[in-house]
Every structure is written in structure tokens, then in C-alpha cells.
Amino acid sequence: MHSSTFGVKGATLGVPKRRALVDFVDFRNGSVLRRSTVSMAKNNTDLCGLRLGSATMETKLISTSVGFGGVFGSSVKPRSVRVMASDGNIEDVVPTTLQSRSSGTVLPYVGVACLGAILFGYHLGVVNGALEYLAKDLGITENTVLQGWIVSTLLAGATVGSFTGGSLADKFGRTRTFQLAAIPLAIGAFLSATAQSVQPMIIGRLLAGVGIGVTSAIVPLYISEISPTEVRGALGSVNQLFICIGILLALVAGLPLAGNPLWWRTMFGIAVVPSVLLALGMAISPESPRWLFQQGKLAEAEKAIKTLYGKERVATVMLDLSTASQGSSEPEAGWFDLFSSRYWKVVSVGAALFLFQQLAGINAVVYYSTSVFRSAGIASDVAASALVGASNVFGTAIASSLMDKQGRKSLLIISFSGMVIITFIAHLFWTQS
């Protein structure tokens, strides 16, 4: 018989390497292991607790598809090990030492974090249908400047919050920063809902903006740090999806405005509820294991890992965190380094993508689509805006599902081309009408 070895990424055990059949690193990460046949030498060899003589061992490992089910544990499950001993007898044995199924789940905690994304979208879209009614109630119907301030102060606050969110998360932790962000979110929503003049409304929008700015920085950060490697990409895309859902909810919430002009106060007040739920939910959510490890709180990091993934994966995740912390000694880049020749191309492309997306007019749609539909003579203006929000959610869901299959670049080309065509058609329709 030809002698063989069990390969472990570039290393061989025993005789010279013929072929690396099993990669234990890939096995740990949930990679697909194909059916392999291992021909053992005549010498007795211990493998997975089985003493084999002159034998042929056939191992079947079947991997389920990686998806949200991977959150609950490893997606690779040993099905059977067929052993033919020296006497010719064949036995099927299940190597229980290879099976490691997690008893934890991250989905509830991802859901809590996504309340921040929903609030982000809700505060962006809530002013869309409510602007005309709140302007009448506050006596600024003819003052478009003050109406513009009510809209734009949210973004001013969000700018401030986005710059401070990362530093707060590094200093106080992810869950505590969520709770801090919930304070201006709740107060801002309450002030906006009870405002009797323009000043409290603007202050409320400013505070809400600070809150959504902070959450915009830490929602994707927290989700990525608590998600298992095998589903990190899938869970990472839910942030944008829930932002679009929040916009849709805000537009749908404006449907009763036609029959009740004071409903705009309820629309703003509704945002207090998810703000409180976010603070309470984060009080019982585990902190990011990565942040705890970086702070030297190893016992707390192990406890968080046990909650998220189950006790079976504590050792593996702690080893990964230790390896990652020692992996690179390169210093972090500062703000001025972004303009160096090393990063300039990447920064320019990324900034241009965001800039052109905004210049395409999405903000005008989010904030003023109801007014545009009304001026176009559409009776159900709020309902039409809700349909726009629904199409936004639909497009985001499609992009999330195709992102890993079609690639980012091709989707960007297709989406920007579609925006050009639709904008051109809309312009022709508007000028002819």
C-alpha cells in the first residue's frame, strides 16, 4: 500500500506528504469537506480514537449550506466513518469527537441592535408626510426656511453623532454606547411630539439626529463582532435592510394624516417606544467578546462567547481573538493618512460612490416625496410615498441576496445605470406634463 498522511496545512505527520486530505482549520470554520478515502499503512495507527490495522478508512463529512442556520453552530456534521479492519470486517462508527454543535444563538441580539437601524430610517422618513401638517400646527406654513431647518437639523445632529460613536464604543463598550444613544433618541422624539413652537421641534430633531448618528456607527460594528464567521456577511447586510424598513414604517405611519391632521404628533411620539426597547434590550445583551478581550476582561469575554455561541466554542473563539490581536503590528492609520498615496485611490472611490448616490436625489425622495406627489396631482400622496419606501426595501433585499453571487461592482454598475435611465424618463415625463 501507498503510505499517506493526515495533512494539517503545510505539515505532515509520519511519512512524506502525498496529499493533504483534511484541513482542520477549514473544518473548524465550517468549510465543505468532500468525501475522501485514506489508505493507511500496515502499521497500527490511532485516528479519532479508532485503532486501525491494515485497513482502508472511508470518511464521509457532509456540510449543510451556510446560512442563518450556521448561527446555531458548526455547519459541518460527521455522518459516518466506515472502517475495514485486518480481518475483513466492516464497521460503521460515528466519531463523536468531531461533532461540536453550538447551543448559543446571536439572532435575538442582532435583532435588538437592528432597533437602532430601524430608528435611523424612521427618523429620516417621519418628516416626509408630517411636514405640511406640523407646519400648519406650528404656524410656519409659509416659512420654508424654518421647514428646512426642521428637516436638516436631524442630519446635523447625525453628523456629530457619527463622529463620536466610534470613540464612545471603544471607551464604554458597544452595549453601553447603545444605551447612551437611546437617551437622545427618546428625548428627541418626545420633544418633537409635544412641541408647541419651532424651537422645541428643532431641538428634538437635533437630539434625535445625534442618537441616530451614534447608532449608525455602532450597529454594523456590534453585529459584525458578535456574528459567527460563517454568517457574518449575511448578518452584516441586515443593517441597511432595517434602515430601509424604518423609512417604510415612517411612511406607512403617515397614512392616517388625511383624516387626523394632529396625527403627526403620534408619528413622532411612536419613536420613543423602540428607543426604550433598545436601551432595555442592550441591558440584557452580551457585550462584544472582541471588545472585552481588548480590554483584558477575559472572564467576561468567555461568558459572552458562551451566551452567543455556546460553551462548546469558547476555547476556539478565544484562540481566534488571541491570534487576531497578535496578527498585525502595523499602527492604525490616522485621518491625515487617508489622503496619502497609499489610501488615496480607495478613499476617492468610496467617497465618490457615496457622493454620487446622494446627488442622485435620494434625500429629496426620502424627505419630500409626499409633497412632490401632491404637486403632481396624486390624491393618495402619502400612500404613493409608502410605495416608494416599499420599493426601497425590495431593492435592498434583492441586492443583499445577490451581493455575494453577482459581485459588488456589477451590481453598482447595474444600479447606477438604472438610476440614470429612470431619472431621464422621469424628467421627460415631468417636462411634458
Per-residue pLDDT tens digits for 396-407:
888 888 877 787
Q: Which residue has the cell 447606477?
A: 416
pLDDT of 70: 41
Q: What number of other Cβ atoms are within 10 A of residue 233's Cβ?
A: 14
> What is the rounded distance in angstroms from the CA atom of residue 345 to the CA atom of residue 339?
9
pLDDT of 100: 46
In the chain, which residues fall in CATH 1.20.1250.20? Answer: 107-285+360-432
Judged on CB neighbours under 10 Å (0-12, 13-18, 19+), 292 is buried
Cβ contacts of 168 within 8 Å, gap of 6 or more: 177, 180, 214, 218
Cell numbers that stand for 325 in this block:
490581536
pLDDT of 328: 56
107-285+360-432 under CATH 1.20.1250.20, yes or no:
yes
Cα dihedral 206, 207, 210, 211 sign: negative
pLDDT along the chain (433 residues), means of 10: 40 39 38 39 39 37 38 42 48 43 76 96 94 93 90 94 93 96 97 96 97 95 89 81 94 92 96 97 96 94 93 90 74 73 86 84 85 83 89 87 80 86 83 72
Contact 72/309 with Cβ under 8 angstroms? no
pLDDT of 24: 34
> What is the rounded distance in angstroms from the CA atom of residue 22 to the CA atom of residue 27?
8
DSSP 218-276: HHHHHHHHHS-GGGHHHHHTHHHHHHHHHHHHHHHHTGGGGT-TTHHHHHHHTTHHHHH
> What is the rounded distance in angstroms from the CA atom of residue 129 to the CA atom of residue 267?
10
pLDDT of 339: 80
pLDDT of 429: 80
